[in-house]
């Protein structure tokens, strides 16, 4: 499901079962990440799927990338793998006005 920045962030903040998922590359993540997000690079192909399979499928995932394309693709893959809820951030982090931190 695609959500605008405001909807996505408000929903994530109110959701006690939320997991923020960044599907960008390591180089992109090094420029800044939304606080508390986990990173799994969608370009890892099968490695991306393998890492997704280790996640709790009952959580609600709030997924983003740079512009919204890769995260939409990731949400589709997650739905096929049996994840109950995956929300795509329309416009990605490039349009993001919320908090961003450097990764640890």
Q: Which of 65, 66, 86, 93 is catalytic?
A: 65
In this structure, which long-range contacts are made by residues 18-22, counting pairs with CB atoms below 8 Å and at least 24 apart in sequence? 18/59, 18/60, 18/61, 18/62, 19/55, 19/56, 19/59, 19/60, 19/61, 19/62, 20/61, 20/62, 20/64, 21/61, 21/62, 21/63, 21/64, 21/74, 22/63, 22/64, 22/65, 22/93
What one-character DSSP code corresponds to residue 42? G
Residue 65: active-site member: yes
**Catalytic positions, written as ranges:** 65
């Amino acid at each position: 499901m695609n959500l605008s920045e405001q909807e996505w962030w408000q929903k994530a903040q109110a959701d006690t079962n939320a997991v923020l998922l960044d599907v960008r590359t390591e180089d992109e993540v090094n420029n800044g990440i939304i606080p508390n997000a986990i990173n799994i690079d969608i370009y890892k192909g099968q490695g991306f799927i393998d890492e997704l399979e280790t996640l709790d499928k009952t959580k609600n995932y709030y997924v983003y990338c740079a512009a919204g394309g890769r995260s939409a693709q990731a949400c589709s893959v997650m739905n096929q793998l049996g994840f109950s809820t995956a929300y795509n951030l329309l416009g990605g982090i490039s349009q993001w006005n919320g908090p961003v931190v450097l990764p640890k």
